[in-house]
Structure 1
Amino acid sequence: MAAPTDCSLIATDLDGTLLRGDDTLSDRSLAALARAERAGARHLVVTGRPAPRVRSLLDDLGCTGLAVCGQGAQVYDAAAHRMLWSVRLDRELAETALGKIEAEVGEVYAAVDQDGVDGLTLIEPGYRMPHPTLPAVRVERRDDLWARPISKVLLRHPELSDDALTAAARSVVGSLATVTMSGPGTVELQPCGVTKATGLALAAEHLGLRPEDTIAFGDMPNDVPMLRWAGHGVAMANAHPELKAVADEVTSSNEDDGVAVVLERLFGQTAGLGRQRSAQYAPKTLSIEP
């Protein structure tokens, strides 16, 4: 990857990246983002969470612009509370894909994110939410998942690891859907060809920015397309090995404010924080002095 020319766009995943394990934002991260924005950079949240599940976080961040949600299936305008762009996962294709996966690995438990700015997360019996703080509505049977248009399906297996379930799903789903792993206990089916990179590219184009202007942060395999698209990709210390393999640098963990560590180096320190860590996690290709 080429280094970004001026880091005009900062794209951050949420879970395992910008957020701490308790779903909170540190004061240090908020201060680093604010300093970058005062310097003229734009911050864009790029998350697997659907738009209705990120509104309060966007408020905490002071985001009144765009956010890429639903693994790239949604570009959401926070100020206008509307979708600028969205792609639905065909429900018949989703059912067919689920059938193929279960024929390969046995019973799985499923949930769906409904499309739209007010869409719900529905979970079938046996499915356990990986983030207990996120609201969900339990339905009585799988057929109830398909009551309204959806943006994606979430899967869990009672025994297989996330990596094993992802690999098995990819081996049988083919072009029915894109299979990705976005976090512990979170394997997902999304519209074929849709990734965080496709959503980020649309949002960046809307803002008049380019890949080479972009620095992206992530922690899981679903962030691989985004880091490959961006001019400079940063993996967290807690990131999945698949993401670290494509990253231009590895920063500290989400619990240790890894996003802030990099932003403080690029846009200057805040009250002297992070100088020692910034030296430890020097980039491979990007070199911008504070």
Structure 2
Amino acid sequence: MAAPIAYAERAAYALIATDLDGTLLRGDDTVSDRSLTALARVSAAGARYLVVTGRPAPRVRPLLKFLGGVGLAVCGQGAQLYDVGVDRLLWSVTLDRELAETALGKIEAEVGTVYAAVDQDGVDGLTLIEPGYRMPRPTLPAVRVGRRDDLWCEPISKVLLRHPALSDDELASVARSVVGSLATVTMSGPGTVELQPSGITKATGLALAARHLGLRPEDTIAFGDMPNDIPMFDWAAHGVAMANAHPELKAVADEITLSNEDDGIAVVLERLLTEGRRPQRLGGRRPSVGAKIQ
């Protein structure tokens, strides 16, 4: 971990909320020394750092321990508020399994066969994958089941979908058009279209975590790379998209930084610490696509 900071700095934001995959994490699932140092600096300056990820708590536990091992994390696209230090879910919302099956049926009626996986609820929940489903990130553990019915054996937090031919954008668009209020449809990364409990987004979990910490939207800067981060950007005072971000997120970002491979989070945090103030908006809530706030 980074060495302690021996000089006083002032954090421009009291809450730093970051996505993991494609944002803080590099492609090999590691965090750079520069990013670790930047997070240590803002922590020393009085800010709180909060992971807000689509990964369920069991799939992110080792990384959270590496990042400090205490505090809160928003997991499962906002469906879980996880206390890292005591390894306990403070809050959890499950996806009704009958509704999930109905939603899957509606999607398949439009696009043909899709392949599904589920994240089970709880701090020890498994990721189950049906025949034909490929994990978008092979580094994450999963258990293959023999048939789709086996996916519903325990309470779940979300369903993950893949289609053999459609792109993620195409699959997500169809799913949103037919699922309605049965579930919330999100796209959180390459090969990752998801169904989660209706009304639950990253903003839901982030708002709950902030209340636990006594902080507000205006205290918060958020970093992300995919459309599932849009609600988090809408909630926070300042949203920063990575250079590698999906165009939908860049379109609503206040700022675009470097990629996750080029320490984009660290670049912004270092600048804010140096300036000691928040950036000015470009004539409204959001700048035009691709604009950067200097």
TM surpasses 0.5: yes
> Hey, what's the Cα distance between the residues in 1 that align with 2:65 and 2:224?
21
- SS of equivalent residue, structure 1 residue 19: coil
- SS of equivalent residue, structure 1 residue 194: coil
Counterpart in 1 of 2:217?
211
> Hey, what's the Cα distance between the residues in 1 that align with 2:57 and 2:213?
19
> Hey, what's the Cα distance between the residues in 2 that align with 1:55 and 1:94?
26
Contact 2:22–2:244 (CA under 8 A) maintained in structure 1: yes
Contact 1:26–1:257 (CA under 8 A) maintained in structure 2: yes
1:234 aligns with 2:240: yes
Shift of 1:266: 1.1
> Hey, what's the Cα distance between the residues in 1 that align with 2:80 and 2:272?
29
Counterpart in 2 of 1:279?
none
Contact 2:12–2:273 (CA under 8 A) maintained in structure 1: no
1:42 aligns with 2:48: yes
Shift of 1:63: 3.6
> Hey, what's the Cα distance between the residues in 2 that align with 1:124 and 1:144?
8
Counterpart in 2 of 1:275?
none
- SS of equivalent residue, structure 2 residue 164: coil
1:138 aligns with 2:144: yes
- SS of equivalent residue, structure 2 residue 208: helix
Runs of 4+ with deviation above 4 angstroms: none
Q: Structure 1 stretches of 5 or more lacking a match?
A: 270-281
Q: Write the letter of the residue equivalent to 2:34.
A: R
Counterpart in 2 of 1:274?
none
Counterpart in 2 of 1:285?
281
Contact 1:249–1:283 (CA under 8 A) maintained in structure 2: no
Counterpart in 1 of 2:160?
154
Q: Write the letter of the residue equivalent to 2:19.
A: D
Indicate which of 19, 22, 25 corresponds to 1:16.
22
Q: Write the letter of the residue equivalent to 2:25.
A: L
Q: Write the letter of the residue equivalent to 1:285.
A: R
> Hey, what's the Cα distance between the residues in 1 that align with 2:29 and 2:281?
31
Q: Write the letter of the residue equivalent to 1:39.
A: A
Q: Write the letter of the residue equivalent to 1:242.
A: E
> Hey, what's the Cα distance between the residues in 2 that align with 1:260 and 1:246?
21
Contact 2:114–2:163 (CA under 8 A) maintained in structure 1: yes
- SS of equivalent residue, structure 1 residue 255: helix
Shift of 1:60: 1.4
- SS of equivalent residue, structure 1 residue 212: helix
Q: Write the letter of the residue equivalent to 1:172.
A: V
> Hey, what's the Cα distance between the residues in 2 that align with 1:76 and 1:17?
20
- SS of equivalent residue, structure 2 residue 22: helix
> Hey, what's the Cα distance between the residues in 2 that align with 1:236 and 1:228?
16
- SS of equivalent residue, structure 2 residue 188: strand
> Hey, what's the Cα distance between the residues in 1 that align with 2:32 and 2:281?
27
> Hey, what's the Cα distance between the residues in 2 that align with 1:244 and 1:6?
22
Shift of 1:118: 0.3
Counterpart in 2 of 1:248?
254
Correspondence 1:1-290 to 2 at 5 A: 6-268=12-274, 285=281
> Hey, what's the Cα distance between the residues in 1 that align with 2:78 and 2:280?
27
Shift of 1:283: 5.3
> Hey, what's the Cα distance between the residues in 1 that align with 2:12 and 2:110?
47
Shift of 1:6: 3.7
- SS of equivalent residue, structure 2 residue 89: strand
- SS of equivalent residue, structure 2 residue 195: strand
Shift of 1:157: 0.1
- SS of equivalent residue, structure 1 residue 17: coil
> Hey, what's the Cα distance between the residues in 2 that align with 1:204 and 1:284?
23
> Hey, what's the Cα distance between the residues in 2 that align with 1:77 and 1:6?
25
Counterpart in 2 of 1:273?
none
- SS of equivalent residue, structure 1 residue 14: coil
